[in-house]
Structure 1
């Protein structure tokens, strides 16, 4: 590997990803450290741990069986269910929370745990599915001869658990660092404060950056305690299942359990993907306003169905009346047509109002994903091909730090770092946002591409070196073409997370004018059909690159960290 190329990549990674964290802790003073001894701080930490464990339980309970069923059994529609099961990774968690908080009586810890569990179960499912596909058929054949299909399942479970545990560690990490969902869920009813709230409040409300950084230290330690084992589990589960002379396993027949298993998988997809998107589509078409008594009466009388705003206005004037179930059923077709018309109007309004925000979000995400993949290719290769093993492992741990730091801490660290007189023009410009997102999300690209390099034989590089190809040429002409699936997967994942990055976006001024921040503001200040339409546009934009790759590329996306 080219030493100068690695040094340059390390320098860029240090500036974009590590310097904001160091800048945040540069504001800490002696008095700020007293917060670590405060009983409230430790109470919030314990509450956050409980949230993380609850989310992990939901994610494993759904993700482990789902991943195994769609990857290794004769489940009906397994391919489509598998694709839909990954969708929650690409849907902003705020949008999932918007759907489930319609049950206003359930808030606080239960609802936060449920929403984040649904949002993060794909992390476990993806790891479980990939590990299940990498089980050698010879092992299953031996187990089947010894004890039938039950013995096969026991062997498979032992080989899948390490990879699933890696996904569970990532789900725990995402849950304990999330700010947007607990904040939104607690906007009505009982307040459910978690550690990320404390960090955000110390910075934005109390203007105490040192206190915010000091109070974040236990959360970073907790996150690293989950991420470092995840690295070892990733190697043991996702990579170690491949052996010499590997034979892909056959699909396991479910027999009489085939349709109950299908019902379970469909339920998981419905709860995590179809329900949020369906609810947004319903709201974009006028939502419950269309089905209120006055709209039904208008439809039954053949009159023009009033708009949602007109319905609300007239109901406030006391004009609403009771309507029978038969009348509802009779007028349903007309109301559905009115909803379709209203949805078109809502999308037009969303495009008109948020066109520039969507364009900026797309530009920022493309820039961040491209830069992160370039860094990931160089650093991922250096991690796996380092001559000294400890050097590679040290780089791998350093790559975890941006992910271990809460997004709110990373964002105000970037503010402290870049809002100085010397760099104030850069801080105020749109270039600041790709830099912020690259530093925050490059970890995913580094780990995904390190995994890709680890599964690639060294012989190809050795042959190229013997023929006279230099380190940089080998990297871009030999290694990169063989890792196209991993490169595309890393790009798509970073792009998606950049499009949905809210926790950092609401703090850094240059990132305020993005589509996800506009949705966040719309939800909190006058949510209506236009906000739902904008949310659907945002989701479509996020999933589009992965959808195009799956439709036209011959290689599968590799999105395992």
Structure 2
């Protein structure tokens, strides 16, 4: 390759890396630093240690980690039948099953809070856990089952089974063969899934605010209380810094457990089998279990949208209220605005995330580890911290900039970029290096190699990444809530404000708005599944390496 071409390639790689770094620096680093600077100016020299002691930070840390650990263990146990169903059973309508599994994960937490208020105050009222610790744990299970099913299910689908079959032939029972042969290769995937669930539960906000009922206080809720309730910025920032340490620890654990090499060649991967005979009993039980766990709560929400109060009459006033103005804007108007901003955020997230995935795919060593952690940090940072930082940072800018219509889409894109990167990295790794090398030998530039070799291969994954970015942007609630005005209110923010207004009509409209958001999210997830399946069919199969 000529020297000029190599220099151009290095320049192109530098620009590819610069774009995501600059985006994260501006829309994540800047507001966080602005908040820290504001806190330093208001702290009167009080040290971080004293601020943490004043807020009982370490007690809150214990509660935060305890509920996150309990939620993670419960999610892992509850997910076992669904993982088996997804990974081993060839079931008609499996695409719809994955939609049912995924929809709860991408729902706004405010909607999940509404769902479990309805469930625990209705069909499960006899349990006496309408709010508090156990209510939060149940909601976290509902939210995060998809993480275990997708991560561990994918590892189980790609797992070689010949060794287990050999163990069975040598006299090992099904349980022993699974524990001694099949389980050990799954441990990295289980660890990675557990780390992600722990991260999501340790930074949970909407669920704990709605279901904690003020009795369950975590770092996230205390940051909100200190910043918004008491306007104690130094204390809020000190708690945020402690939370960032927790987030980085969880991300490093995720990196440690992250996907090693594929466990088995393409020729030795088990095909999902269609059940027959008595096997249908176990499969039917697993399907019913999945529907009760993940679909039944949404059906309760659907009922509450037409019967807002327990024992009350049936009415459609909530759905009729979707066209009525609330603070100058109707829920249908906010849906239109939400779809527009989510589409803009998707475009931004796909561009930035694709460039970030390319950079991380080419990175090695410490750079790769640090880059992966930094790419995921925006996903785990306190939405309260980020939103409050935006208020401080934007107040220093001219009105024409701070009122820009791109602010909210960029904030939503910041939350979606980590998902785009996580979807695209395995797809980029699946592109056979020999194809790239052959194109380079034939004189193709790096960009032409990417457009002609990589893009056709990862096209399905790129579509799925865009779909995930869309639903994440559509459901973003925390930071967007700080920036929303009357004319820039998104549907999740409107639902949250509707819950705080008294009256059965407001409750009915909030329930109907939540059902509207569930329907839109389900359609988007269905599209994601379609792209994902096409990506799996088109992804090239690596040839099996001969064993000498």
TM norm. shorter chain > 0.5: yes
- Aligned counterpart for 2:114 among listed residues 75, 98, 102: 98
Name stretches of at least 5 consecutive residues in structure 2 with no aligned partner: 1-8, 122-127, 538-548
Deviation of the 1:450 alpha carbon? 1.9
Relative to structure 1, the CA distance from residue 361 to residue 457 in structure 2 (aligned partners, 3 Å threshold; closer, same or farther) is same
CA contact (8 A) 1:75 1:258 kept: no
Listed one character per residue, the Cα deviations across residues 441-465 of structure 1 (whole Å, up to 9, x for unaligned) are 3122122222322232222222222
Q: Alignment partner of 2:259: what SS?
A: helix
Deviation of the 1:46 alpha carbon? 0.7
Q: Provide the alpha-carbon RMSD of the alignment.
A: 2.9
Deviation of the 1:35 alpha carbon? 1.4
Q: Distance in 1 between matches of 2:47 and 2:466?
A: 39
The alignment status of 1:528 with 2:507, answered yes or no, reads yes
Please name the residue that 1:414 is paired with. Answer: 390
Moved more, 24-33 or 455-464: 24-33
Please name the residue that 2:5 is paired with. Answer: none
Q: Distance in 1 between matches of 2:293 and 2:325?
A: 26
- Aligned counterpart for 1:221 among listed residues 234, 240, 245: 245
Deviation of the 1:476 alpha carbon? 3.1
CA contact (8 A) 2:255 2:369 kept: no
- Aligned counterpart for 2:21 among listed residues 10, 15, 28: 10
The alignment status of 1:26 with 2:37, answered yes or no, reads yes
| Pairing 1:470-549 to 2, within 5 Å after superposition | 470-510=445-485, 513-526=489-502, 527-549=506-528
Deviation of the 1:74 alpha carbon? 5.8
Listed one character per residue, the Cα deviations across residues 517-557 of structure 1 (whole Å, up to 9, x for unaligned) are 10011122134322221111112222323323545886158
- Aligned counterpart for 2:370 among listed residues 389, 394, 401: 394
Please name the residue that 2:65 is paired with. Answer: 49
Moved more, 109-118 or 148-157: 148-157
Q: Distance in 2 between matches of 1:438 and 1:250?
A: 36
| TM-score, normalised relative to structure 2 | 0.84
Relative to structure 1, the CA distance from residue 343 to residue 438 in structure 2 (aligned partners, 3 Å threshold; closer, same or farther) is closer
Q: Alignment partner of 1:272: what SS?
A: helix
CA contact (8 A) 1:402 1:441 kept: no
Relative to structure 1, the CA distance from residue 548 to residue 247 in structure 2 (aligned partners, 3 Å threshold; closer, same or farther) is closer
Q: Distance in 2 between matches of 1:51 and 1:552?
A: 35
Q: Distance in 2 between matches of 1:553 and 1:120?
A: 20
- Aligned counterpart for 1:361 among listed residues 335, 338, 359: 338
| Pairing 1:118-157 to 2, within 5 Å after superposition | 118-146=142-170, 147-154=172-179, 155-157=181-183
Q: Distance in 2 between matches of 1:478 and 1:74?
A: 32
Please name the residue that 1:439 is paired with. Answer: 414
Q: Distance in 2 between matches of 1:553 and 1:253?
A: 24
Q: Distance in 1 between matches of 2:166 and 2:394?
A: 60
Please name the residue that 1:197 is paired with. Answer: 221
Deviation of the 1:246 alpha carbon? 4.2
Moved more, 49-58 or 133-142: 133-142
Please name the residue that 1:330 is paired with. Answer: none
Q: Distance in 1 between matches of 2:531 and 2:158?
A: 25
CA contact (8 A) 2:147 2:197 kept: yes
The alignment status of 1:269 with 2:291, answered yes or no, reads yes
Relative to structure 1, the CA distance from residue 99 to residue 398 in structure 2 (aligned partners, 3 Å threshold; closer, same or farther) is closer
- Aligned counterpart for 1:466 among listed residues 429, 432, 441: 441
Listed one character per residue, the Cα deviations across residues 387-411 of structure 1 (whole Å, up to 9, x for unaligned) are x433222221221221231111122
Q: Alignment partner of 1:374: what SS?
A: helix
Relative to structure 1, the CA distance from residue 344 to residue 39 in structure 2 (aligned partners, 3 Å threshold; closer, same or farther) is closer
Q: Distance in 2 between matches of 1:550 and 1:245?
A: 24
Listed one character per residue, the Cα deviations across residues 232-270 of structure 1 (whole Å, up to 9, x for unaligned) are 32222xx43244754444539697565245324423332
